[in-house]
Amino acid sequence: MSESRTPEYPVDPIFLNRWSPRAFTGEAIPEQTLLSILEAARWSPSAYNLQPWRFIWARAGTPAWGPLLATLNEFNQSWARNASALLVVLSAKTGLPPGATEPQPNGWHAFDTGAAWLSAALQATSLGWHAHAMAGFDKDLARSSLGVPDDFAVDAVVAIGRLSADKSALPEALRARDNPTPRLPLAAIAAEGRFGFKS
């Protein structure tokens, strides 16, 4: 792993090996492998066990692929077209907590779905694949073309693929950027007792 991925304290290597490349081989992903990635997401923790996450998936070369790829902005389409699968990540904005008889607003739907996305990303890494989450997509188009009800948030789109050593398929401006990135120092994100982080 690169010097930019050296931890300050010991962590499992999977956390350093997980990164979000854009250069993919276009290799087909077996359906069972993709379902294994989604199975990991299924076991994520959630408030009141409401499990608000939902995933709409498509593998490249299938009829479902085109509508999912079309939700991405032009920049993301330029590289994600070489991915093996796309996931649209949704979260239920309401749920039925214990003791309730009617659905209630779930203020933690995005937080819990973020945990599910990370579980999927780590499972992909453990299987030799990479997952790249994107904010650059048309939420309204995703909602309308994929039939997403109003009580679900459209949170992200994720590209999954095998890492390619050949970056020539990427737009030139992206080639130098397609490397594992560093993180802020721990002291900049974690403070004991009260707000106060070192820059």
| 195 falls within a domain | no
Token look-up 């020539």 returns 168
CATH of the domain at 92: 3.40.109.10
- For residue 59, tell me if it sits in a domain: yes
Q: What is the domain count for the chain?
A: 1
- Going by pLDDT thresholds of 50, 70 and 90, the confidence category of residue 52 is very high
Residues 6+ apart with CB under 8 A from 91: 52, 53, 54, 109, 110, 112, 113, 152, 153, 155
The pLDDT tens digits of the residues spanning 70-129 come to: 999 999 999 999 999 999 999 999 999 999 999 999 999 999 999 999 999 999 999 999
Range of the domain at 136: 20-179
The amino acid at 35: L
Q: Is residue 97 part of a domain?
A: yes
Instruction: Supply angle C-alpha 88, 35, 129, rounded to 5.
Output: 80
pLDDT tens-digit map of 157-168: 999 999 999 999
Residue 160 within any structural domain of the chain: yes
> Looking at the domain assignment, is residue 74 inside a domain?
yes
Domain contains 1: no
**Residue 44 scores a pLDDT above 80:** yes
- Asked if residue 117 belongs to a domain, the reply is yes
Model pTM?
0.96
Residue 91 included in any domain:
yes
